[in-house]
Structure formats: structure tokens, C-alpha cells
Structure 1
Amino acid sequence: MSQFNDTWGSNIVKELIETTPPEAINWWPQTLGWQVVAFFLFIIFLRKLYLRWRLYQHNVYRRDAIAWLNQLPPFEKLSTQPIFRQLPNLLRKTALGGYQRTEIANLSGNSWAQWLDEQCTQSSFGEDGAFMLHRLAYDSDWSMTSDQMDSLTQKVRLWIEHHRGVYD
């Protein structure tokens, strides 16, 4: 390989002196007005983060109820699966976790199902759901079909996941 000789290139470029690059641009606001705006935006961000954290902490009851539902064994026959009899109790405990006790304590039967439907538009218990919840909670001899139990379990799951609590 041959080296380039001294006459290679332009004479103008040979005497060119490189300049140093400018310092990095500081992204922090330089004026007091923009610093105040940045401070308030930071405070708003922290407040939103705190409210999200509080909502997450408040929804522990909801996550616990869903975890309990996820651990249910497959439904075969109600008499051999007494754990399904706890669905009305789970629904009541979940409601107590998200609402005031005084609002829920006196509700039963159709008024309970109507209140559940008012709190969540995703699931509808209606009179049929109220009947099934009542019979499931208080009648130990009553048996349900697999389809009825799947339907009720799905309604309970939807209500737990999508109801609007006091803090939602």
C-alpha cells in the first residue's frame, strides 16, 4: 500500500483548525417561571402516583376474592363440592370491602341482587341470581346443575372484577 503524500487533498483544508464542540444543553429550566412550572408538574405527578398506590392498596379485597375464585376446583356435584356454598359469603365480604357496612347490612334477596346490579353494569344477577344466591347460602339440600353453577360463578367473578367501589 502506498502512503498519501503531502500534496494530497486541498490546501484550504490543510490549515483548517477544528473547533471544540459546544457543551451539552442543560434540560433543566433556566428561568424561575419554568422552574416553578416544573415543580408543580412534579408535585402533580407524585400525587397521581400516590393515589394510584392508595387505590392499589385499597383493592386488596378484590384481588383476594379473585384469587379465591381461581382456586376453586372444577364443579361436578354441589353435594361433593361444599366450597361452592361459600360464593354468597364471598360476594358479601367483597361488597363489604368496597362499600360502607351500613349500605350493605340490611340488603337481602331481590334488594341485594338489585344493589349488586346497580354497582356493576357488567354482571346482572336479577331475580334468578338472587334466588340462586339465597338457596346456595341457606338451603343445604338444594343442588344446582353444572351450567347454573358456572353461570353464577361467572356473574360473581364479573361483579368482583368490575364493580365500582367507594374509592374507585
Structure 2
Amino acid sequence: MQPPPMQSTPSPLDQLADIHLPGNVSWWPLAPGWWTLLALLIIAIACVFLWRRHQRQQYYRVIAQQELAAIYARYQQSQDAAAYLHALSVLLRRTALTAYPQRFNASIKGTEWLNWLDAVCPGSNAKFSSAIGESLLNSAYQKNPQVDAAGLYQLSEQWIKLHRNHRQKVPAPKPAPQKAAAVSEANHV
């Protein structure tokens, strides 16, 4: 017996459709890793910007410290205490005027000036209203003043480094204590 005649059937491979290629990969939406990288890049740029701004805002302190060192070096060579005290007072006032352009009253004098210096530098252990700082007021008008130049240098350097500037909250200076007689007279009226 003969096998039945074969019908011409198409091959199953011929019935397969071509492979459909996927579309091009789109840039959007980004994968989570790219979003993370983008966020880190933005944070890094912001940090660099803020750091540079801080450096520019605090540059006056660097200049003041350099001038303070130069004033102290001149004093060590010449031993002219009056010139040292004058230059130190001018430097502190210029630094205060730079740090507080709108709020600093350049005309304050005496113990009010020393109290103001103490008020804007709350982290300082040494105080301008102490005996060392008092020499800024009294010794400038003496013929041959005796000053603790090294102590004043350290106190001024500490103030330049640690004082708060106009961008930071500064406590209001405390008023000078009044005498008991003046207080009782003020209450009487």
C-alpha cells in the first residue's frame, strides 16, 4: 500500500510572523538612578554656591586678622603703645562697621563701646570691659602708657574671629547699671 498522497501544506515556519522590534528607548521618564544623580548634582551645586557666598561674606575677618598681625608686628618693633592702641581701636571700629553696616553707631565711646564689643561676641571668654580692654580707653591719652599688648592682641583676635555679624542674631547690649540714688530719684518723680 502506498501512503496517501501528501497535501501540500505550508511549513509551520512559514506561518511565523517576523520579529517585531521594540520602539526606540525614550529619554523620558528618566530612570530613578538618573533622578537621584540629578538631585545630588543640584545639591552639590547649591552647597558650593553657599560655601562661596559664606567665604565672601566672611572675608573681612581674614583682612582684619592680617591687619591686626601687622599692627602687632609694628608695635613689637617700635614699642609705641599709643600708636598701637590707636591703630587697634581704628581696626576694631572698621571691622565693626563692616560687620554691621546699618546697625553700628560709630560715635559710641567709652564703656558703651566696650560693652557693645562684648555684646556682639557672646562666645568670648575674655571681655573688653575687663582691665585689658579698659586700656583701649584710658591708655590712648597717656604719654607713656603701660599696656598688655599681647593680651589686647589676643582679645582683639578672638573678637574678630568670634563676633557675630549683621546676618546673625545679636543680643541687645545691656544698659549700663544706674546708681541707686539716680534710680530712687527717677522713681520719686
TM category, shorter: 0.5 to 0.7
| Separation (CA, whole Å) in 1 of partners of 2:135 and 2:102 | 23
Shift of 1:76: 6.2
Equivalent pair of 2:89/2:136 in contact (CA under 8 Å): yes
Say if 2:128 is the partner of 1:125.
yes
User: Counterpart of 2:92?
Assistant: 91
| Separation (CA, whole Å) in 2 of partners of 1:167 and 1:32 | 41
Taking a change above 3 Å as real, the CA distance of residues 104 and 48 of structure 1, as seen in their structure-2 partners, is farther
Matches within 5 A, 1:17-166: 32-71=31-70, 72-73=73-74, 74=76, 77-78=79-80, 82-120=83-121, 121-122=123-124, 123-137=126-140, 139=141, 141-145=143-147, 148-166=148-166
Equivalent pair of 2:128/2:134 in contact (CA under 8 Å): no
Q: How many residues align?
A: 135
Which stretches in structure 1 are left out of the alignment for 5+ residues? 1-29
Taking a change above 3 Å as real, the CA distance of residues 152 and 166 of structure 1, as seen in their structure-2 partners, is same
Equivalent pair of 2:127/2:133 in contact (CA under 8 Å): no
| Cα shift readout 1:118-146 (whole Å, capped 9, x = no counterpart) | 22222411143453222355x1525124x
- For the aligned residues, what is the CA RMSD? 2.7
Structure with greater contact order relative to length (CA < 8 Å, sep ≥ 6): 1
| Separation (CA, whole Å) in 2 of partners of 1:161 and 1:133 | 19
TM-score by length of 1: 0.66
Higher-Rg member (1/2) = 2
What one-letter code is carried by the residue in structure 1 that aligns with 2:41? F
| Separation (CA, whole Å) in 2 of partners of 1:167 and 1:56 | 14
